[in-house]
Amino acid sequence: MNAISSDAGLAEPHLAEVLAAVGLDVEYVRAEGNTLYRLDEQQREAPVLDFVGGFGSLILGHNHPEIVTYAQDLLRSQLPIHAQFSRAAHADRLASALNSVLRRELGDDERYFAIFANSGAEAVEAAVKHAEFDRSLKLAALSEQIDAHVTQARSLVQGGLAVPADSAYARLDEAGPSGDPVQDLEELIAHVERWNAERLSTPPLFLAPEGAFHGKLVGSVQLTHNEAFRTPFKALAAQARFVPLDQPEAIRKTIDAERRVLLDLAVTDGAVTVVEREFPVFCAFVLEPIQGEGGINMVTREFAEAVRSACDAIGCPVVVDEIQSGMGRSGAFLASSLIGLRGDYYTLAKSLGGGVAKTSVVLIRESRYRREFELVHSSTFAKDGFSSLVALKVLELLEADGGRLYRVVAERGRSLRTMLETVRADFPDVLKDVRGAGLMLGVEFQDQSGSTAGAVRDFARSGFLGYAVAGYLLRRHAVRLFPTGSAANTLRLEPSVALTDDEISQLEAALRDVCSVLRDQDEGRFVGA
Ligand code: PMP
């Protein structure tokens, strides 16, 4: 009996075909530092220089020796990995270590409580769920207050101590859904209750910048701007309103356009009046300080300030998604600290697991934290002993020698960027822009949809040019790069902190070559083997 089938091509075969079409369907057999190894025709290892860096999960590189040794030791020691609902001492130590780093970088003493998860999107969903839990508890408290005011008004009117003001009826005639004039207090109350019930049953809204990427799960994909990812699943979750990153003033306008109120009753000087109470329409503003999948777009200090002040004005929490930009990648632990953006929530994932574990976390500011959330949210795998200890080890490496690693990231990033700027200066007709911070850089190609090389033009028009360029660089130069998820004309560079000058030179030669091919519109070379 052969219980295990040998059918090949069952794991996402369509994606495999798409990768194969541009020569990216390579199997790697070993990895270390910034190098992946494939087997050549003679079954010998052939190195490929990796600038994809696990989509940002490898700030320490592939199989960092200290992380690997530590992980091996943990497994050998028979560490309890899955001991759910016991004292999570390792996760607690990790939360404490993360707090120390945040305190140092943000210069603020407020504590952040940690909810652990397994992937980036899951941490975003935990953040969003917590924000909605908070909003719903605030709404429940507001509804209770309104109910108490209604009861009080009713008993005062019944006792002859108050009468509904004419203005109250007038307000309701304007605002009331029925259109019939309101005659007495009970009708007034019925109107208020109907009005409020309608608003209370509407789903919340989120705010996010255009270009945002926060994951592809049911909730998080609605915060991801890319329409191809988002719109087929619109019916499944609450919606976001997207604001352009270069228009900070659009934030307030968007908030004002969605403003809604609940109605309440107030009794002053024996008169019952209808008053408005602000309805918290927005559950959270979610943003990346440096957009990764959106094309390596930096959030400006001015935009960050506008987010903070607009959100403070309506009591809406700011969720700073540092899943790709955090863990030292920008040259600081949090990229948001470079632009003075202060979050109420922070999400971390990717490099938190040191390239070995899958783990993520949402950190929530104490003054916003709802402890009851812990009893309604959990995951079998979150907060496991192995991932928590590996993540602690990662933090230890990042923070060693007074944060030497952050300085190295910044310095390596400068060298890489200088090289990219030089190539761009020589090929301004091919390379449009170089952006980013630290080791999170993007190179945007000029639009090639008018190229006389048919294949280049076709790739450009179908949005695949970035992947075709990636295929070329891999085939010809053994350099691995990918475009960002939602901006296919921008190649993303996220190598590890171990990036060497030789590796930068290898990339330079590869980029200069592909730029020449595109400039010369040399189709034969571009698509040739
Ligand atoms: N947020 C950001 C900023 C990301 O870059 C990503 C992944 N690219 C995610 C969330 C989702 O993370 P994951 O793929 O682990 O679900």
Q: What is the predicted pLDDT for the residue at 525?
A: 92
Q: What is the predicted pLDDT for the residue at 8?
A: 83
Q: In the predicted model, what is the mean pLDDT of residues 296-313?
A: 98
For β-strands 431-437 and 345-348, DSSP reports them as unpaired
Q: What is the predicted pLDDT for the residue at 327?
A: 98
Specify the ligand 1 atom closest to the Cα of 324. 5
**Ligand 1 pocket: which of 52, 206, 214, 358 to mutate (most atoms within 8 A of CB):** 214
Distance CA 318, CA 308 (A): 7
Torsion of CA 436, 438, 439, 440, to 10 degrees: -30
Q: How many helices (H) and strands (E) does the chain have?
A: 15, 20
Report residue 111: phi and psi, to 5°: -85, 155
Q: How far is CA 70 from the centre of its chain?
A: 29
pLDDT tens readout for residues 95-118: 999 999 999 999 989 999 999 999
pLDDT tens readout for residues 184-198: 899 899 999 999 999
Full 3-state SS string of 169-227: HHHHHHHCCCCCCCCCHHHHHHHHHHHHHHHHCCCCEEEEECCCCCCCCCCHHHHCCCH
Distance CA 64, CA 51 (A): 16
Residues 35 and 41 sit within 8 Å (Cβ to Cβ) = no
Q: What is the predicted pLDDT for the residue at 439?
A: 98
Separation of 55 CA from ligand 1 center, angstroms? Answer: 9
Separation of 209 CA from ligand 1 center, angstroms? Answer: 15
Please name the residue whose Cα sits nearest to atom 12 of ligand 1: 120
Residues 239 and 203 sit within 8 Å (Cβ to Cβ) = yes
Pocket (CB within 6 angstroms of ligand 1):
55, 119-121, 124, 213-215, 288, 292-293, 321, 323-324, 349
Q: What is the predicted pLDDT for the residue at 116?
A: 98
Please name the residue whose Cα sits nearest to atom 1 of ligand 1: 214
**pLDDT band at residue 2 using 50, 70 and 90 as cut-offs:** low
**Nearest one of 506, 492, 513 to 443, comparing CA atoms:** 492
Please give the mean pLDDT across all residues of the chain: 95
Please name the residue whose Cα sits nearest to atom 15 of ligand 1: 120
Q: What is the predicted pLDDT for the residue at 479?
A: 98
Q: State yes or no: pLDDT of 421 exceeds 90.
A: yes
Separation of 444 CA from ligand 1 center, angstroms? Answer: 21
pTM of the full predicted structure? 0.96
Q: State yes or no: pLDDT of 37 exceeds 90.
A: yes
Q: What is the predicted pLDDT for the residue at 166?
A: 83
Q: Could you state, in order of their start, the residue ranges of all structural domains in the chain? A: 13-65+401-526, 89-383
Q: In the predicted model, what is the mean pLDDT of residues 462-483?
A: 95
Domain 89-383 bears CATH identifier 3.40.50.300: no
Q: In the predicted model, what is the mean pLDDT of residues 15-39?
A: 94
**pLDDT band at residue 158 using 50, 70 and 90 as cut-offs:** very high
Percent of the chain residues topping a pLDDT of 90: 91
Specify the ligand 1 atom closest to the Cα of 121. 16
Amino acid in the structure at residue 299: V
Please name the residue whose Cα sits nearest to atom 10 of ligand 1: 214
Separation of 4 CA from ligand 1 center, angstroms? Answer: 33
Which value does ipTM take for this structure?
Answer: 0.99
Q: What is the predicted pLDDT for the residue at 467?
A: 93
Separation of 153 CA from ligand 1 center, angstroms? Answer: 51
Q: What is the predicted pLDDT for the residue at 440?
A: 98
Q: State yes or no: pLDDT of 450 exceeds 80.
A: yes
Specify the ligand 1 atom closest to the Cα of 55. 8
Q: In the predicted model, what is the mean pLDDT of residues 78-87?
A: 94
**Ligand 1 pocket: which of 324, 327, 440 to mutate (most atoms within 8 A of CB):** 324
Separation of 380 CA from ligand 1 center, angstroms? Answer: 20
Separation of 279 CA from ligand 1 center, angstroms? Answer: 31
Percent of the chain residues topping a pLDDT of 70: 97
pLDDT tens readout for residues 230-271: 999 999 999 999 999 999 999 999 999 999 999 999 999 999
pLDDT tens readout for residues 365-409: 999 999 999 999 999 999 999 999 999 999 999 999 999 999 999
Domain 13-65+401-526 bears CATH identifier 2.60.40.180: no
Separation of 131 CA from ligand 1 center, angstroms? Answer: 19
Separation of 215 CA from ligand 1 center, angstroms? Answer: 5
